Structures are given as structure tokens and as C-alpha cells.
Structure 1
Amino acid sequence: MPDPKPKGEKADGSAVPLTRADRARTVASVLRRQVMRGAFFGGVLPDERALIAEFGTSRNTVREALGLLRDEGLVERRRGVGTVVVGRAYEHPLGALSGLAEVLQRHGEVVNEVREARVIRPPLTVSRRLALPDGSKAVYLERLRRVDGVPLSLDCTYLIPEVGEPLLAHAAGTPRTLENHDVFDLIETATGTPLGSAEVSVHATVPDPATCAVLEMPEGCALLAVERLTFLADGRPADLEFLHLRGDRLTLHATLDRAAGHTEPAGSSLL
């Protein structure tokens, strides 16, 4: 069946014919979301005829879309079964100040492989983000986070001494504490001080070979780089994290309310 001829639009309003690759990308975008959310019963996608009917497109376009998902490590073709899900992403909420274990423990066993835990002199930019005097020390933690043995994130954390040193002391007295608990939980337990708020920024990047190897990522997979500065309830910065999340295994989720946060600047108008 030939594809319909959907068209885009140029800046001057004239139509732009879409290629089969464009249509395959559109189909893959919808299917990717369903795969990542576990929407297909038994982990098996509908057959090609069902997908052709659903998307109103051709067999070649559907096959190209499934090929994109296969190349991302999300699905594979099995003889006598069909296209099956082999990879799934977990959602991490952006709107809640919570650790990975808090969010993902319902999906499996979350374990942290501690790569470093020591007192250091942090880079100057880190000291300034944490409001530390130049030359001050900080506690540095580096942990590889896994769910059911699958690497999901590599977390590099800098803590102010008032928070980090009690945390290290607490961990030293309780074996495997750093392996089995989120940093947020440890901060509040070790210091008795509640956390308050956090500033978060996210960008996508291509991982360097070393990070790719540690996270056991497929070649060409994207990395979500998250920078999170967390404050104590009294407003002091306490924890600066650089989180490296596998883009094929973690998605960042938030529920946004336009009415709650939208204000129209004075003097503006809609044209």
C-alpha cells in the first residue's frame, strides 16, 4: 500500500512533501513512548498489518520505524513471535525532590556501586556553587546506580563538609550504607537536617567512551546530563550533583500546569 502524501509547510506557506524517513520517524516516536511505558501486553507489539492500519501508512514505513527502535535496543524481531520489547525506560519525576532508589525501588532492586567516597578540594566552580570559601574541602561521592543489575546512571556528587563528613562517618559505621541508600536519605539521617529545594538543569549529550563503557551503553545512545543543586531547608546549598543518565533507560517526567505559573508580562499582547 503506498503511503499517503502528508505535507509539511514552508515559511512561505507552501507544502513540503514528507519522505518515508520522515513518516517512519513519526511512527517510531509514538511506538517508542508506548514501549518505554510498558504499554504492550506480554511485551509483544501489534503485527505489521495492525500498525499499517493504525498509522495509515505503508509496510515499508512501519518496517523502517521498527528498525529505528531495534537500532536503539528497544525491540527485536523473533521468528514465530513478532516484534518484542527487549528494553524499557523508567520514569524519573522532575517535579519531586527524590532519589533514584525512592523512585525505582518498585521496579526492582536498586544498588549503588561506590566508585569514590572521600574528602577533596573541589574545583573552584563547584566551591562557588556550594558557597564555600576558595580552598575549602568538600566530600566527593561517585556511584554507579543499577536496577536489577542494569546500569542506569553514573552520579558525581559534591557535598559541603557539614553535610558530607557526617554522612561519611555514618556510612563507615553501617556497612553497605552508601550502596543501599540514596544520598538525600543519608543527608537527612546523618545530619538530622531536612532538605528544602533544588535547582535542576538537563541537556542531552553524546557520552565519552569512558562513561559509555561504565554505563554499558549501546553505541550511539544519548546521555541525559542532569545538574542538580540541592539546598537545605534553611536555604544553604548542600549538594551539587552531576548525574549521567542512560537516555535509553531513563526518561524525565513532569506534570506542568500552565495556569498555575503563567503570567503575562506588562504591556504584552497577542497578535
Structure 2
Amino acid sequence: MRDPKPRSGGSGVSLTRADRARTVASVLRRQVMRGAFPGGVLPDERALIAEFDASRNTVREALGLLRDEGLVERRRGVGTVVTGRAYEHPLGELSGLAEVLQRHGVVVNEVREARVLRPPLTVARRLGLPEGGMAVYLERLRRVDGIPLSLDCTYLIPEVGEPLLARAGKTPRTLENHDVFDLIETATGMPLGSAEVSVHATVTDPATCAVLEMPAGGAILAVERLTRLADGRPADLEFLHLRGDRLTLHATLDRATRYTDPSGSSSS
């Protein structure tokens, strides 16, 4: 089947087959990553052609994009099958990554480093530490059912981090079997209050690729999260490196809660 002539996007721009394939792949990618296909098998080409009103070549190109990302593969006699999926981390709740991931499988935290150190000046300032003050540093690799999903680098204020290290010294598997948020609340006897989160996507450096067992040049979601105790004090500053091909960040947003200033105008 030959591709039709390029279609107009409504603004005078002609959409190429590559444009159409990218659009199809975007929808299928989301379905694949959410486990939407029963048995892990995608609909056959004829069904996809009908669903997306696309040519066979466009559908095949879209499936090729997903194959190159390691999400699907073609198996003779079976069809296109899912070979990778992603796990959702909700941004609308203050929960640790391990708390979320344990809903999907067996979570293992590999402790790569745990020690007291002098943090970088910018980290010390974010944590409200005096210049030259010390912090506790934790670095952990998280796996779900054996698959590396994130590399977490965490700086904790001394009154939070030092009890964690002391507890880990008595029970070595403490840092492996518990989420940092749970440990913080146990150590301080105080619940966590709020967190500031920023996210950006970046190409992974070779060392991080090796730790996360990712293809060279793969993308990660770099998350910076400053968490505060209920009394407003900073507790920890985390730099999370999430595999972009295995983790998605999810939030439900309400436009009705937009900020309205005293003059009555709303701000988005």
C-alpha cells in the first residue's frame, strides 16, 4: 500500500509520513508503557491502520520507532509484542520512589555509598546548613524485579542522616529495605510536610548509563527534590536519575485551583 500525499496540518504545513508515524508512535508508546495491551501483544497492522486512519507504511514506521526504543519487537507467528514497560510515579503525592514501585514488583535498593561529608556549597544552602557544615550522603540504585530503574543521590541534614547511619550500623539492611522518607519520619518522630520538585530530561552520561544498564546515549529524567519536615525545616535534597524508558511522572491537575490575585485576575 502506497502512502497518500502529505496531509495539511490545517496551517498550510504539509505533514510527511514521518510526522504521521511520530503521531501514531506517541499514542502507542503511552499504551505500551501503561500495559494497555492484554497478553503484551499489540493489535495487528490492519487494526492499527483502521484505528489511526494511516497507511501501512506509516504504521510500520511507527512500530519501528518503538522497536528502536526497546519497547516492542516483531515475533514471527505472534505479531508485535511488548518487550519493555514503564512504571508511573505520581507527582501529586509526597511519596518515596520505593513506596510507589513496590506496587509493581520486588524492589531492591542497592546501597552504593553512605557516609558523612561536606556537601557542595549550593547543597548546603538549600538545606540551610552553615558554611563548612557536614551532611549525610546516600547513593542507592533501585531495581524492580531485577531491572535498574533509578539512581538516587541524597543529602540529609545531620540530625536526620546521622541516626539513619547509626541504625544502619546496627541493622545493615535498613537502608536497603526501607524508603528514605520512612526512615526520616522514624528518625525524627515527625511527619514530612512538603517538597519542591523540578524535572528535566537529559542525555545520560556514560557512567550513569553503565550503572542503570541503559543503552549509550539514552535519556533520563533528572529530578531534584527538596523535602521539608512538617515544621518547615529542610530534611533532605535528592537528585534522582530515572530511566526515561522505564519511568513516567504522572499528575492530575485542576485548572479551577489556579491562583487568583487580590485584583481578581487569575494567574496560570
Same fold per superposition (TM over 0.5): yes
The answer to whether the Cα contact below 8 Å between 2:6 and 2:17 also exists between their aligned partners in 1 is no
1:190 aligns to 2:187 (yes or no): yes
Return the TM-score normalized by structure 2: 0.95
Question: Which of the numbers 120, 123, 130 marks the counterpart of 2:120?
Answer: 123
| Structure-2 residue corresponding to 1:107 | 104
Is it true that 1:86 corresponds to 2:83 in the alignment? Answer: yes
- In structure 2, relative to structure 1, the CA distance for the partners of 1:178 and 1:58 (3 Å cut) is same
Supply the distance in 1 between the matched residues of 2:264 and 2:147 (Cα, whole angstroms).
Answer: 53
**Structure 1: how far apart are the matches of 2:70 and 2:213?**
12
Is 1:8 paired with 2:9? yes
Task: Kindly tell me the number of residue pairs found equivalent between the two proteins.
Answer: 265
Q: Taking structure 1 as reference, are residues 221 and 233 closer, same or farther at Cα in structure 2, changes over 3 Å only?
A: same
State the shift of 1:191 in Å: 2.2
| CA contact 2:205–2:217 (8 Å) conserved in 1 | no
Q: Which whole-Å deviations, capped at 9, do the CAs of 1:37-88 have from their partners, x for residues lacking one?
A: 1000100000001100110111110000000000101000000000000000
Asked if 2 retains the 8 angstrom alpha-carbon contact of 1:76 and 1:84, the reply is yes
CA distance in 2, matches of 1:156, 1:116: 9
Q: Is the contact made by 2:34 and 2:85 (CA closer than 8 Å) also made in structure 1? A: yes
Residue equivalent to 2:173: 176
Is the contact made by 2:204 and 2:216 (CA closer than 8 Å) also made in structure 1?
Answer: no
1:217 aligns with 2:214: yes
Give the unaligned 5+ runs of structure 2: none
Q: Say whether the 8 Å CA contact 1:170–1:190 is kept in structure 2.
A: no
Gaps of 5+ in 1: none
Alignment of 1:230-249 (within 5 A): 230-249=227-246
Q: Contact 1:4–1:56 at 8 Å: present in 2 too?
A: no
Match of 1:51 among 48, 63, 88: 48
Moved more, 173-182 or 149-158: 173-182
User: Do the aligned partners of 2:225 and 2:239 also contact (CA within 8 Å) in 1?
Assistant: yes
> What is the RMSD of the two structures over their aligned residues, measured on CA atoms?
1.5
Runs of 4+ in 1 over 6 A off after TM superposition: none
> How far 1:193 sits from its partner (Å)?
2.0
Alignment equivalent of 1:29, drawn from 16, 26, 29: 26
Question: Aligned letter for 2:198?
Answer: S
Post-superposition shift, 1:266?
A: 4.2
